[in-house]
Structure formats: structure tokens, C-alpha cells
Structure 1
Amino acid sequence: MPFHRPTKWVQYISAAPALSQQAVDQEWSYMDFLEHLLHEEKLARHQRKQAMYTRMAAFPAVKTFEEYDFTFATGAPQKQLQSLRSLSFIERNENIVLLGPSGVGKTHLAIAMGYEAFKIFYDISKISLELYHNIH
């Protein structure tokens, strides 16, 4: 690969000075230094991709399973709700329908599932009920 071509290693440029000093201080080999640089770049790309997916999903707010108060979900066992986090229903091509009265956290769970899905880079999209009715 020619060295004169620009790369997309954004994190490399900002991480290199600090990592090079750390490499000197800790007496890293060249391969250790390169491994750390590549690791920093991989983490930065992963974070940028998650930020992009968050914007594309158009969630009203980021909600996670850790933030969910399971005391509101009196009609569904906590174990069943936690199993949604595994997203195994996606691999089985199953649909999930969240039913319940207002204020029990259906939207929170839906967003949390979407958030979990794009953390492992599933393509997701949010569709409002109004848009769904306009399509059909």
C-alpha cells in the first residue's frame, strides 16, 4: 500500500503521541505499540458506528435494560423480560409485541432492545404507529 494515500485512521492521529510515550515508559516492542494503536482505532470506530446507529434509529432517548424498573412490569415475569435482552427472537425470525397499560415501560423495553441490537450491529429502524397506518 502506498504511504502517500490518505487513511481513515482518525483515532491513530490523536492516540499516537500518548501511546508512543507510554510505549517508551513501559518499554513496549514495536509490535506491542502497533497492537495498542490498532486497538485504539478499533474502539474509536466502534464508538463512531454506535453513535451513527443511535442517530439513525431516531430514538427519543437512549434507554437500556440496566435502567429499566422491573417492578412496573407486574404482568410479565422478570426472567421473561430479561430473555428479550438476548435478542434470540431475531435469529428465530419472531416478532415481539409489547402490551400493557400506559406507564409500565413498553417503550423503554422496545428502545432497550433496539439499543442492544445495534450494539451488535443489527440494522434497526423505528416506525411509529401513525406511519405504519399511513403505509397500510
Structure 2
Amino acid sequence: MTIIEDTKYLHLSYIREHYLEHCQEAALKEQSYEEFLKDLLQGECFQRRQNGIMKRMRSAHFPYQMILNDFRRDHLKVEVRQIIKELETLEFIEEKKNIILIGNPGTGKTALSIALGSKAVEEGRSVLFISIPSLLIE
């Protein structure tokens, strides 16, 4: 079997697509076999992590993208900002606690839940975003 066939069989897509580049780079840098293999495997691991994040983001069904750094807090009370800071740690997930965001329309509940969910996805967790009306229908 060839390297291409072996990497297809083993589902090593990054290595299949980039091993020639890594071979050339290793020759130019006079890398040891161990360094070459380490770089190649790190590339594979990074791509798999990224692919996992993208897959979980799609599965989460977020209506739009939002990350915590983009979430506006300047209009919020100090107490609310402190609570958000605590939620950002995602400890409530580890502690198996639910959170309920309550407030007037347009106050950022959906944006905050998407931002928290996105962070959880980036940390390797599976998330499902669903609105209360949709949840009640199901």
C-alpha cells in the first residue's frame, strides 16, 4: 500500500494532504525523524480538534455566532456583570447545574447563551441551542 492509501484507511486526512510539505520542510531544516513525525502528528491533532469544534458548532444549532469577547456588558449592572463572569468559567456544567436566563426582550439573554454555548463547544462539550417555544413543541 502507498502512504495515500494507508492514510485513507487510517482516516489521517491531515497527514494525507500535508505529508509531502512536511517531508520537504524536514529535509530543508534537517529535522530528525522524531521531530518530523511530531510535527506531522501535531498537525493531525490540531485539524481533528478544529473539525470537532466545527461539527459540534453545527450540531448546536445556534441561530447566529457570538463569542464572550463580543458580548456587550457596558450597559449591565455590576451584579449582573459579576454573575456573567462566574458563568464564563462554565463551572455550572461541571457541577451539573442548570441556568435560566430571565429578562426583558432585547437584554442579551440569547446572545449570552450562545456565547456560553460556543465556549463550551470550544472546550470539547456538545451543546444544543433550543428556544423555549421550540422546546415546548417537541
Q: Does 1:87 align with 2:90?
A: yes
Q: Does structure 2 retain, via aligned residues, the 8 Å contact 1:50–1:119? A: yes
User: How many Å separate the matches in 2 of 1:105 and 1:77?
Assistant: 12
User: How many Å separate the matches in 1 of 2:106 and 2:28?
Assistant: 54
Give 1 or 2: higher helix fraction: 2
Aligned residue for 1:62, secondary structure, equals coil
Deviations 1:19-67 (A, max 9, x none): 2222112111001000000000001111111111111111111210011
Structure 1 residue aligned with 2:51, among 48, 53, 58? 48
The TM-score with structure 1 as length reference comes to 0.88
User: How many Å separate the matches in 2 of 1:18 and 1:72?
Assistant: 50
Structure 1 residue aligned with 2:16, among 13, 16, 32? 13
Q: Does 1:96 align with 2:99?
A: yes
Going from structure 1 to structure 2, the CA distance change for 1:134 and 1:77 (only over 3 Å counts) comes to closer
* Residue of structure 2 in register with 1:116 after alignment: 119
How is 1:13-32 mapped onto 2 (pairs within 5 angstroms)? 13-32=16-35
* Residue of structure 1 in register with 2:61 after alignment: 58
Q: How many residues align?
A: 133
Deviations 1:113-134 (A, max 9, x none): 1111111222211222112223
TM-fit CA distance, 1:75: 6.6
One-letter amino acid of the counterpart of residue 35, structure 1: K
The TM-score with structure 2 as length reference comes to 0.86
Structure 2 residue aligned with 1:33, among 30, 33, 36? 36
Q: Does 1:106 align with 2:109?
A: yes
User: How many Å separate the matches in 1 of 2:61 and 2:107?
Assistant: 22
Between 1:38-47 and 1:9-18, the stretch displaced more is 9-18
Q: Does structure 2 retain, via aligned residues, the 8 Å contact 1:12–1:37? A: yes
User: How many Å separate the matches in 1 of 2:84 and 2:47?
Assistant: 31
User: How many Å separate the matches in 2 of 1:114 and 1:62?
Assistant: 10
The percentage of aligned residue pairs carrying the same residue is 27
